[in-house]
Every structure is written in structure tokens, then in C-alpha cells.
Structure 1
Amino acid sequence: MQTIVVCYLLSHVQAETLTTSLDINECKAFPPPCSQSCHNADGNYSCKCSEGFILKPDLRSCRATGPNPLVIFTNRYDIRQFNIITNEYRHIFDNLWSAVGLDFHIESRSLYWTDVAKEKIQRGRIENYGTGTAEVILSNVDTADGIAVDWIHGNLYWTDTGMDTISVSNLDGSKHSVIIDDGLDEPRAIAVDPRSAFMFWTDWGMDPKIEQAGMNGVSRKSIVTTDLIWPNGLAIDYFAELLFWVDGKMHTLSSCDFNGLNRHTIINSNTVLPHPFSIAVFEDEVYWTDWKKASIQKANKFDGTSRINLLTNLNNPMNLRVMHPLLQSNFSENYCGKHNGGCSYLCVAAPQIPDIDRSARYACLCPNGQEIMDDSHTCSGQTPNPVLLTTSVPTKAPTNEQQPRGGVTGNRRNSKKTIIAAVFIGIIVLL
């Protein structure tokens, strides 16, 4: 128990000391006392874990139940898997051209990745182990550095630093739409939170920043704009409700909340982080790839301690993910699940916007060149969905006009083929 004791000495009367104990909210400290949820009480606090996790004997940390977590990562010319518990190390896909972005879909046992040399997005089975073939689901995507799966609504999001766009498709790539095509310079990592229907991405261009928008492209805003140069990797801690990112030029690993507030620098070192590229978080650890070290490392997500090398002497470590079923739990309802939300084309998650009455939890998008009609469900030139939902009307989708521009891959400019190597805790004592 932490308390502040304030003593008052009374004069002209019998000497007497009054002590008043003021409770400190330990849950607001950093590093926080709990790895997930912290509940403050008078003079004390308690830690709780999300469903599927067990509180460890230290009564602060949470351990995931179920299968062992796996680190999966693109290594430019292949995709590999590392078992964090058993140290089993396997190749999943070999003989790739230039694999960069990566994510997974637990329910279908699928991996999704981008190949910036082929200019395609591909899909393959998680348990391939070098024996299967990859399926091309999208072509002509130019330079897609980041990719993220919305496992609840069944959609795929990616950044394209060649086209300076953010796009979305269904999981087989048959329906796709550009949702953001302005104000982007060098978009890179992208992460989605289907619970809130918000997505986050990094942009390492002339005005580096981390941005947030609804997963339908609306309500866009910059949430981190200072002390950034090359914001590369980005990850969501769904259970602590935090964002983590690495900066390849600042040599930092940092965190903040979903609004960009309560920002903390966890690691700041050009020897530990000479050129970090991608980041993932699970349980109490944060994981990252580093181009210069050609390695994958991990450390405590709050203070950077207990740092170890997981894998070294890699070829070109790019994006990584920690794969575990709890990271794709059914956090919320699939609002597109019933008859595709009544949409004639593509249904995506949409955030509830406080200043818009009855804002819907989903939105209907159209192919590039078509517009949504007045019913908010049907694209121009298409046949309406036979079953239109009447319980909620989605917000009108943003204009989906692609804006072709030259782009870059890696911290590199004007070429898709060349890489340019380019807690404080304040304790106030009242006396």
C-alpha cells in the first residue's frame, strides 16, 4: 500500500500530530503494475486478466491459455515460423520474390502477405511448411508495405506507398475499394481494431505521423505527430488497449493509448534499435525485427527489460506477427455477417461517431469509379442486395477515387527494388 502522510503540528495547544492518508491510484503509474487490467481500491489495487488468460503467481502478469504462441515473419525471400515456448523453427513458404507485409487469419488457417516485387497480395495455408503453393488474390497493388486482417468482418486492409493509398478488400480479393487516397506520403504499417472499428497506420514521409480513422475511412485524425522521423512498425495491444511502434531513425520503441495520449518511450538506443522495422506485442512482451542486426528480439513491453535475441543471422527480416487464437477472439459482433449488411458490393466495419445520431456499425463501399446511391447500400450500376437491412442505415462511404503517384518501399525513395539504409514516473510528495 502506498500512502502520503501529512502531519500538522498545532501550536498554543497540547502538541498533537494529525495524520491524513491520501490514496495514490497505482493504476495510473508507468510502468503500470498490471499487464492488462488494473482496478484501483482505497489504499490498494488488483490486477485482472481478459478472458482466455490466467493471472500468474505474481498477481500482476497474465498468461495466455491454449496453444503455444508462434512468431511468424517475412524474411524477404521466405516466410518462417518460430515457436516461442519450444524454440521449434520452421519455414512456411520458400522461393518468394520480395515478401514484406504479413498477417494471419486463424479461422481459415491462412497467411496473407504482400510481395513488393511481384506487386501482388498472396495467400497460403499456415501449415504449408514448404509443400504448398501460394494463391494470388490481388494484383497491381504497387508497393504494399503493410497489411492487416479484420478477422471479425472478413476483410483485408493494406497500405500502398507507391500509390499513396489505403485500401480494403474481402478475404478472397474479389471485392476491393480505396478508402483513403489523400494526405498520404509514405504510409507503411497498418493495424486494425474491429471492436471499435478504427484502424491505425504510420506514415514516414516529409511530415511523419501516426494516424487513426474508421475502418470505412471516416473520422480521420493524426494522433502522434512529434518526435517521429521514420515510424515503421505498429502494433495494437488489444488487452492493455495500447499502441506500440518503432522508429527506424529515432532508434526508439514507444507506446501510447488509442488517442495518442499517455505516450512513453520504452527503449531509446541506437545500439539496441539501429534500424527497427516491424513490431508485435503479446502477453508482457514486445517483439521486433531489425534490418541492421538482421534479427528478431523481444523485451518487456513496459520497461524494455529482459531483452533477448530470439533469432539472428536472418536474410532480410521484414514484418512479424505473434500468432495465437486469443489475438483474434470474437471481441464484437460481425455487423456485415447478415446478408453482407445488405450491401451490393463490399461491407466494412464503421465506428460509432458520437456527434452523429444513430451512426451505423457498418458501411457499404463501392468499386473505384462507382458511387454509393441514396439507399446507402447499393453502388451505381449494380443490382441492390435482395435483402436490405432496415434496422440501421450506414454512413455514406467516402469517395473511392484512386490517386496514382510515385512511391517507395522500405526507407527508400523512387524505387520499389532498392532499399536505402536509410519513465518517467513523477511522485509528488505533499509535506
Structure 2
Amino acid sequence: MGDLYVVRKSRGPMPLINSTSSGLPCFRKTFISLKDVGSVEGLAYHRAWDTLYWTSSTTSSITRHTVDQTRPGAFDREAVIAMSEDDHPHVLALDECQNLMFWTNWNEQHPSIMRSTLTGKNAQVVVSTDILTPNGLTIDHRAEKLYFSDGSLGKIERCEYDGSQRHVIVKSGPGTFLSLAVYDNYIFWSDWGRRAILRSNKYTGGDTKILRSDIPHQPMGIIAVANDTNSCELSPCSLLNGGCHDLCLLTPNGRVNCSCRGDRILLDDNRCVTVMVWI
């Protein structure tokens, strides 16, 4: 039994879609009464801390609140990110393992994808070019990759946590992609135009399949839930830095890819060395 946290803006059914034959996990809906939170656009849950994070586009902020307020060290509606009135944080995703959170910013002049620590420190822009309305964002925890969609440009992209190595995975018409989720070898998304839920191979963008197309209302958020959705122990970089001397990065399929900072080069034994050039 798990808890499903819901932001209620309007009443209506919440459809559950099972793409396998193993059955769905059992949920109980959990409502927390918090007033004056603004227009909540993104919601994420930190399991280890029993803490909800949410974005508010009207107050240009990201706030966290511990569900069980009797818990030692509980957070009581602590604003961790305060942005300018031109900024409008929307979708939010947490990486508990790396102590990072990512969010989309619907700033009309400077739309972007941003990140910071879970305490709001070291906030920075990671994607700011070739982007208009980033309305979908999710994390592939096993591969430590970001997937994001742009409703105006009609595409889904993958990149590293620092915004580098961008790859277009799926491209369609404007308005197609809304919310994203990643699990196993697939990227899932909700489609307003078709009122449907679809999936594609997260590496190639192929093997596209409509999972459901008879949704009576335009589908909004989508999540993929499994026992290993966000397990820190699964990262191969968590054990002895993956055998890397410097940076332990992961390929899109979750395998170790050692790298070096600066101008140093990588040797066959995964050590990084500085090459001296004599002039």
C-alpha cells in the first residue's frame, strides 16, 4: 500500500493505466489541507524525508512541507526557491540520490530548465536554448538523465543533468506532449490533442504505442510507479564511484561511462592524467 498525493483543482476521476499484466500497485489517496499555496503546477514527494515539494507559478516559488509534522526535523512550509515575478516554475522532479531537484521555468522571455540542491542552493539554468514551453519533465533515475518535452516545438529530448548531450527522442506536432514519465525502456506521455496516453522507446523514439485513447477529459500529469522507480542503490556509480578515477557518468542505458574534468585525458584503466605539451 502506498500513498498517492493529489493536488485538487477540479473534481473528476483519476484514470489508472496498466501497460503490463502484473497488476497495479495499491494506493490510498492522501490529501493535505494547506491554504494560500498559489497556483500549484508541479508536485513531487521525497520518500526518505516524507516531504512534499511543490511549485507555484503565481508566487514564483518552490516550497516543501513534511507530511508528518511530528517527525524530527520536519519542514513546515519552507520556501526553498524564491524567483522573480517574471519566472513561473511549473513541472518539478526530484533526485533524492543526488540531492538535486529540477524544474521547468515558463519565463516568457527566457524559458528554461533549472536545477538546485533540495535545499534550494546553487540554483542554475541547465537548458535555455531551443526551448519555448517546457511543459514536461522527468528523471531516468537508473541512467541519471533528464527527459523534457516542449509543447510549442513538439518534441521530447534527453540530456545530462547539466544540460549537455541533448538528443531529440520523439518529434511530432505542436501541442502534442504535456506530461512525461520514464520507466524501464520507455518514455510515456500524455497527449492533449488525442486525449490519450502514449509510449515510445526511450533510446530510439520508435515502437510508439497508444496505451489509452478514450480519456473523457484532457489528460494532465502522468507518473510511472514501481518498486525500483527511484532506488539510490541501483546506480552503479554509488559503489566505489563506478571504478572511475574522476567523473562517473552513465550512458542512456545506465552503464558506467568514466570521464575526466578539464583537459585531462582518460586512460584504459579509467585513470585521468594531465598531458604535458612542451613548446
Alignment partner, residue 169 of structure 2:
266
Residue 233 in structure 1 maps to residue 136 in structure 2: yes
Residue 322 in structure 1 maps to residue 257 in structure 2: no
Contact 1:73 1:81 in 2 (8 A): no
Distance in 1 (CA, whole Å) between partners of 2:181 and 2:9 is: 15
Alignment partner, residue 112 of structure 2:
209
Instruction: Check 1:224–1:191 CA distance in 2 against 1; reply closer, same or farther (3 A cut).
Output: same
3-state secondary structure, aligned to 1:139: coil
Give the alignment partner of residue 19 of structure 2, picking from 67, 80, 84: 84
Alignment partner, residue 168 of structure 1:
64
Instruction: Check 1:268–1:73 CA distance in 2 against 1; reply closer, same or farther (3 A cut).
Output: farther
Alignment partner, residue 192 of structure 1:
94
Alignment partner, residue 151 of structure 1:
47
Aligned letter for 1:164?
S
Distance in 2 (CA, whole Å) between partners of 1:85 and 1:189 is: 27
Instruction: Check 1:261–1:74 CA distance in 2 against 1; reply closer, same or farther (3 A cut).
Output: farther
Aligned letter for 1:283?
D
Instruction: Check 1:79–1:291 CA distance in 2 against 1; reply closer, same or farther (3 A cut).
Output: same
| Post-superposition CA distance 1:41-62 (Å, at most 9, x none) | xxxxxxxxxxxxxxxxxxxxxx
Contact 2:7 2:40 in 1 (8 A): no
Distance in 2 (CA, whole Å) between partners of 1:290 and 1:300 is: 16
| Post-superposition CA distance 1:151-205 (Å, at most 9, x none) | 1222111110111111111124772111111246121100011111110000122
Distance in 1 (CA, whole Å) between partners of 2:48 and 2:54 is: 16
Distance in 1 (CA, whole Å) between partners of 2:35 and 2:13 is: 19
Distance in 2 (CA, whole Å) between partners of 1:74 and 1:295 is: 21
Contact 1:73 1:320 in 2 (8 A): no
Distance in 1 (CA, whole Å) between partners of 2:63 and 2:151 is: 25
Contact 1:274 1:293 in 2 (8 A): no
Q: What displacement does 1:282 show?
A: 0.5
Distance in 1 (CA, whole Å) between partners of 2:213 and 2:206 is: 19
Instruction: Check 1:291–1:73 CA distance in 2 against 1; reply closer, same or farther (3 A cut).
Output: farther
Contact 1:188 1:202 in 2 (8 A): yes
Equivalent pairs counted in the alignment come to 220
Contact 1:73 1:80 in 2 (8 A): no
Distance in 1 (CA, whole Å) between partners of 2:51 and 2:9 is: 25
Q: What displacement does 1:246 show?
A: 0.8
Give the alignment partner of residue 288 of structure 1, picking from 186, 189, 204: 189
The correspondence of residues 35-184 of structure 1 with structure 2, limited to 5 A, is: 77-86=12-21, 126-127=27-28, 135-172=31-68, 175-183=76-84
Alignment partner, residue 413 of structure 1:
none
Distance in 2 (CA, whole Å) between partners of 1:269 and 1:202 is: 20
Contact 1:165 1:178 in 2 (8 A): yes
Distance in 1 (CA, whole Å) between partners of 2:7 and 2:192 is: 13
Alignment partner, residue 246 of structure 1:
149
3-state secondary structure, aligned to 2:40: coil
Contact 1:285 1:298 in 2 (8 A): yes
Aligned letter for 2:197?
I
Contact 1:144 1:159 in 2 (8 A): yes
Alignment partner, residue 270 of structure 2:
none
Distance in 2 (CA, whole Å) between partners of 1:293 and 1:87 is: 27
Distance in 2 (CA, whole Å) between partners of 1:193 and 1:283 is: 17
Residue 277 in structure 1 maps to residue 150 in structure 2: no
Contact 1:157 1:167 in 2 (8 A): yes
Instruction: Check 1:161–1:318 CA distance in 2 against 1; reply closer, same or farther (3 A cut).
Output: same
Most deviating of 303-312 and 134-143: 134-143
Scaled by the length of structure 2, what TM-score is found?
Answer: 0.72
3-state secondary structure, aligned to 1:254: strand
* RMSD across aligned positions (CA): 2.6
3-state secondary structure, aligned to 2:228: helix
Distance in 1 (CA, whole Å) between partners of 2:15 and 2:22 is: 13
- Tell which has more relative contact order, 1 or 2 (C-alpha 8 A, sep 6+): 1
Q: What displacement does 1:74 show?
A: 9.3
Q: What displacement does 1:138 show?
A: 1.9
- Give ranges in structure 2 of 5+ residues lacking alignment: 1-5, 70-74, 235-279
| Post-superposition CA distance 1:108-127 (Å, at most 9, x none) | x7xxxxxxxxxxxxxxxx14
Percent sequence identity over matched residues? 26
Q: What displacement does 1:264 show?
A: 0.5
